[in-house]
Structures are given as structure tokens and as C-alpha cells.
Amino acid sequence: MKLPRRQFLHLAAGAAAVPAVSRFAWGQVYPTRPVRLVVGFPAGGTNDLHARLIAEWLTKHFGRSFIVENRAGAAGNIGAEAVVRAAADGYTLSLCGSTELRNEILYSDLKFSFTRDLAPVAGVMLGPQVLVVHPSFSARSVSELIATAKANPDSLTVASSGVGSSPHISWELFRSMTGVRILHVPYRGGGPAMTDLLGQQVQLFFSTLVDRI
């Protein structure tokens, strides 16, 4: 997919515009009721785990409940749209990442705009993508994996958190650089993908490791 330069710069600027301080005008009485923290992926994935850690800290800090709500599906779009449709009162927040930003250009039928309808509040984590396999897999290095895949085209499977997710993008980059033919299996989130990797239902997964939070 060729992305027009102006659109690319617009999206990149939106991603870089995350301030260190919240844009919400936190009043001294905020919050007066429970706050929802929406995650667009199932429980057990990277976004979900971080959301629960953050919600726990916020609950202790403010003395009010911050509740994680998983709204999985469509690579985070369902969760993002739920936040867009909620009242703009600071009581429905979203923990999202680069996946939801990319969806702006990958999905032509979105009923909202990530860059127009949502406001960034704070950057909370940085994490690289790491290629992992089940311990029983025969390859013990990337070169051995490439050799195995080329000797057996379309016989291996690689999981992702959904089309357009960071694991999927990492896989597509790996595929384009190596020329291997491996079947892509999209899941609703990283949790289910990792579960099937451990159960040897798939062979590969580009998992996210937190570098900083």
C-alpha cells in the first residue's frame, strides 16, 4: 500500500504529539465515580496487562475505581470506537498504541477518525517486537528458521494480534526481507495468540517486550 506523503506526515505528527502532562482539566474532585479504561484487545495481551497495572495505580492515587474494560475485535477498532462514542467527560479512557493509529489508513470503512476524534493524553510505554517460537521448534536461530521455511513453503504458521497490529507489521517486514512463505494467522489479541503458540497450534509470533513504562 502506497501512503501519500501528506497523509503519512499527518499521522506521524499525530503520533508524536503525545504530551507528558494530561490534557484533561483534572479538577480537585475528579473523579467522582468509576472511570472506564478501555482496551481494544482481549485479556492477557500487552495492552491489557499495562492497562491493569495503570488502573491499579490510578485507583490508589485517586481513591476511585479505574476499571479495565476489554472491547476486543478489528485490531483495536471496536475499543477505539467505543471511546469515541462515549461522553467526552474524562470517564472513558483508552489505552491504545500504534496499531490503532495505523488503522486510520488500513481500514477504509471506519466510522471515526483516530487522529480527529481522540486526544492523546500521555505516552506510557515503549516496547520492541521480538520473534519467539515454541521451545520444541527445530530452528534455534533466525537463519535456521529461514532455511526451514524456505525448504517447506506454506507449512509454518505465524500468529499476530490481528491485521494491522504491531506483530502483523513486524511479520510483513520479516517476510519482505527474507522472501519466506509462512501462513499468517490473525487473532483477536496477543493473549490468545500466545496461548496457541504455547499449545503448538502455531509456530511463530512477534511478541512485544516492554522496554520502558
Per-residue pLDDT, 28: 56
Q: CATH number of the domain that 42 lies in?
A: 3.40.190.150
Question: Is the same domain home to 90 and 133?
Answer: no
Per-residue pLDDT, 160: 93
At 66, the amino acid letter reads F
| Residue 82 in grid coordinates | 467505543
Per-residue pLDDT, 17: 39
Question: DSSP secondary structure string, 86-125?
Answer: S-SSSSEEEE--HHHHHHHHH-S--SS-HHHH--------
**Number of domains the chain is built from:** 2
Last residue of a domain, one of 82, 117, 152: 117
Domain that holds residue 52: 5-117
What does the H/E/C string look like for 136-182? CCCCCCHHHHHHHHHHCCCCCEEEECCCCCHHHHHHHHHHHHHCCCC
Q: Which of 69, 88, 79, 70 minimizes the C-alpha distance to 110?
A: 79
Last residue of a domain, one of 94, 117, 140: 117
C-alpha 43: how far from its chain's center?
12
DSSP secondary structure code for residue 126 in this structure: B
| Residue 51 in grid coordinates | 492497562
Q: Is residue 64 part of a domain?
A: yes
Per-residue pLDDT, 10: 43
Q: CATH number of the domain that 155 lies in?
A: 3.40.190.10
Phi, psi of 33 (to 5 degrees): -150, 170
Per-residue pLDDT, 87: 94
Nearest 5°: the CA angle 162, 164, 170 is 95
Query: How many whole angstroms separate alpha carbon 22 and alpha carbon 76?
Result: 22
Question: Is the same domain home to 69 and 166?
Answer: no
Per-residue pLDDT, 18: 38
Question: Is the same domain home to 88 and 142?
Answer: no
Beta pairing, strands 129-133 & 204-208: antiparallel
Query: How many whole angstroms separate alpha carbon 200 and alpha carbon 203?
Result: 6
Residues 120-172 pLDDT 10s: 888 887 778 899 999 999 999 999 999 999 999 999 999 998 888 889 999 99
Question: Is the same domain home to 13 and 76?
Answer: yes
Per-residue pLDDT, 46: 84
For residue 152, what are the contacts with CB-CB under 8 A and spacing of at least 6? Answer: none
Contact (Cβ atoms closer than 8 angstroms) between residue 13 and residue 117: no
Give the gyration radius of the chain's Cα atoms.
19
Residues of the chain with pLDDT under 70: 1-28, 210-213
Question: Is the same domain home to 77 and 9?
Answer: yes
